Structure 1
């Protein structure tokens, strides 16, 4: 998190909020880029006693970020952003080759949507997608889905680190990862190749970006 964000509009207090900030650090330990999460999750369903208002404590960012790296041009995003495809379309227009989406999906939303959303963002933008994912059982009410993943521009899953399903079951076995009680206790690392020549070949054979146009559909 990044402190000193402005208070929530209309708030009766002046309590400052934070930014959910995605940072890029180079091999020399230098901070080279920052992105503040744009899309915040606010939902209130009184009949079900559901009140999740991220904007009470977190301020939204306002700028898209693409930065250079030894791997290629990185398009930055965070978690809930991935449900808004127009953000990634614009990152592709800004030159992104690799889309990053560190996340913390719950088990229900992860099961239903995680792999599908990330493969869609890769396919429709013809970019690599790398998504580090929090996983584990945090308390009796909240578990994170896990499944840190790498997807290529054709939508193929190159690597999946596995995750927690319910009370600590590893869904995708990963060598060296063990489960104990309610949480996976051995961290895992997945490695994949980034082939930008292959990405350019896909973009040449299916030139989506050239065929995309701005229109108002009614």
Structure 2
């Protein structure tokens, strides 16, 4: 007759107490431990989140914008214009260089684009202060695409104010035109009105100011 041994609580307790090997119990425990280990969550090292890719924009100032009228041949070649832009600092641009066709390329990240646009907008405010300081009746407005400027002045317009309204303010808007996404040829029509009678006294373009020679043309 084959004797069958029943593995009950009493047998298990006795085996543990007297050090007797309990093969069946050991096997069962190993199986349970293996199953628990397989089901336990494993902590995997997490990879760092990828850094956002910096997006760059290319702004082209055409050769007919970077021309001898605005930048003299002796001191402001297209290469010098590019160096002037780079000299603004890394907070405003990543790179700037002149091409063989005399255009100037500006490379900016999105954050730099906002800052350099703000810089030229502040220039406009500064030159406007020079323009209006002689009279509280002096003022101007510019259309949406920066191609027309209407100014109200008189013959008391001084050299600094005249330079601001006919040169410095327009060229700043020219830069803004390209920085804000404009392409191709840019010019600005400048209309000068008498600030007392609202009569149009002089019309010329930013690129062709030879016809404007004296503030006496603007009326009292």
TM-score (normalised: structure 1): 0.27
Answer with 1 or 2: which has the greater Rg: 2
